[in-house]
Amino acid sequence: MKTEASAPAAETAATSQGSALAAARAGRRLEPRSMVRPAVIAALLACVLLFVPSIFSLYYVDAWTQVAIYSIVTLGLGLLVGRVGMVSLGQGAVLAMGAWVSARLLFATGLPFPLVLLAGGLITMVLGTLVGLPALRMSGLYLALITLMLAGAITVVLQNINFPNGGHGFTGYNASTVHIPPIRRPAIAASDPAFFRYSVVVAILMFLLVLVHLRGRPGRAWAAIRQSEAASLAGGINTTLFKLWAFALASFITGIAGGLVAGSFRYLNSLTFSTADSITLLAVVLMGGAYSMTGAIVAAFLLKFLQALLNDWGVSPDWLTILFGIGVLQVLTTAPRGIVEQMPKDLARLGRLIRGLLGRPTTTRESAE
């Protein structure tokens, strides 16, 4: 027993002596692992792209398309909530703005779909940032409130100007149109399975865009702001700029998701988006886990796949709303990091419980975990 205990101590001493050697060894040990993770993710994504459309029925392919699209929205909101510490209650409204702008552009111009997505994202970014501007300089509670009001206000505007249906004028809405043309899809993604793949690719690009930001200077600035705004200001970080940046980035990717929503639904009306959506979005982001990018995917799954599943089983979606409400309270009181972090812990606990019940003696390594 004694020898076992002294062995790690000797190792520590050895590493502190030859620190350069240890660092090299650690680096070598880390490198394959850091290669493995992206490789696994890439393989998973390839499987998703290849097999999901052939395994699932069209109904569920559409559900997965919604999961892909909404994972962009939850990624943007998770970025605000988890990385910067700003709560926006108006992301549903921002998504609706993006969908409106893209639908308008798709009806008015013959621009290729990716360009429309980009333009929709940029315009949404400008609009969203302008609206959030008054609150960005204030404490988080004010931002949450002003964005909640924004959500209400945008709902009112969209109810009045309606979504474009191929009419003329600025709003592109013609109330007397009988045969409403569907919103255009990209030529390479006209069918539902193809549009699913298209959405997943766009979602991957958006995740990469956010990843680049998080790895770089903005990510470090956001982490500092989340810890303490005063300290990061004292440390020479332009906090207003970086908060604005985060808000703009979230609005941009949400706007792009809005374009995808327009393409996937093909017919939009003011009932497609409601004020409550913004709150549900925040609920699933918190439940999924706002601090990680995987959490965004879990959140989108909760929001859209469960919805499709319950609908398929004939269960009222109101139960889902109730579940999300309970989830918010549970996450905030007991598991602030959401399902992504809580699930493995709970599974490990469950595993230990089962092992305990089976009466198998737990080994030292397991108990250390």
Partner 1 sequence: MPSTTDLEQFLVTGLSLGGVYALSGVGMVVLYRATGVLYLAFGAVGAMGALIAWQLSHQDGWNIWLSFAVAILFGGVITLVYGIIFGPALAGRDPLVKATATLGLLLILLGVMDLLWPSSGGASRSLTMPTDNNTFQVGQISVTYTNVIALALGLVITVVTAAFLRFTKLGTAMRAMANDREITAALGVPVRRVEAAAWFGCGVLSGVAGVLLADLVALDSTSLTFLVISTLAATLVGRLRSIVVTFVAALVIGLITAELTPVSSLSNYRDMTPFVVAAIALLVLNRRRVIMVGRQGV
Q: How far is the CB of 160 from partner 1 (least distance, A)?
A: 5
Cα–Cα separations (whole angstroms), residue 42 to 35, 38, 45, 48, 342: 11, 6, 5, 10, 24
The answer to the question of residue 233 lying near partner 1 (CB under 8 A) is yes
Residue with Cβ nearer partner 1 (117 or 282): 282
Residues 235-274 within binding reach of partner 1 (CB under 8 A): 274
Is 139 a binder of partner 1 (CB under 8 A)?
yes
Contact status: 316 vs partner 1 (CB under 8 A): yes
User: Does residue number 35 form part of the binding site for partner 1 (CB under 8 A)?
Assistant: no
Q: Which of 75, 283, 302, 306 binds partner 1 (CB under 8 A)?
A: 283
Q: Which of residues 171-230 bind partner 1 (CB under 8 A)?
A: 228-230
Q: Which stretch binds partner 1 (CB under 8 A): 71-79, 170-178, 258-266, 279-287?
A: 279-287
Minimum separation from the CB atom of position 149 to partner 1 (A): 4
Q: Is residue 313 a contact residue for partner 1 (CB under 8 A)?
A: no
Is residue 93 a contact point for partner 1 (CB under 8 A)? no
Give CA angle at 100 (96, 106), nearest 5°. Answer: 140
Rounded to whole angstroms, the Cα distance separating 83 from 219 reads 8
Alpha carbon separation from 111 to 52, 105, 107, 252 (Å, rounded): 29, 8, 10, 19
| Out of 18, 27, 134, 351, the residue judged to bind partner 1 by CB under 8 A | 134
Under rule CB under 8 A, residue 150 binds partner 1 = yes
Closer Cβ to partner 1, 144 or 203, answer by number: 144
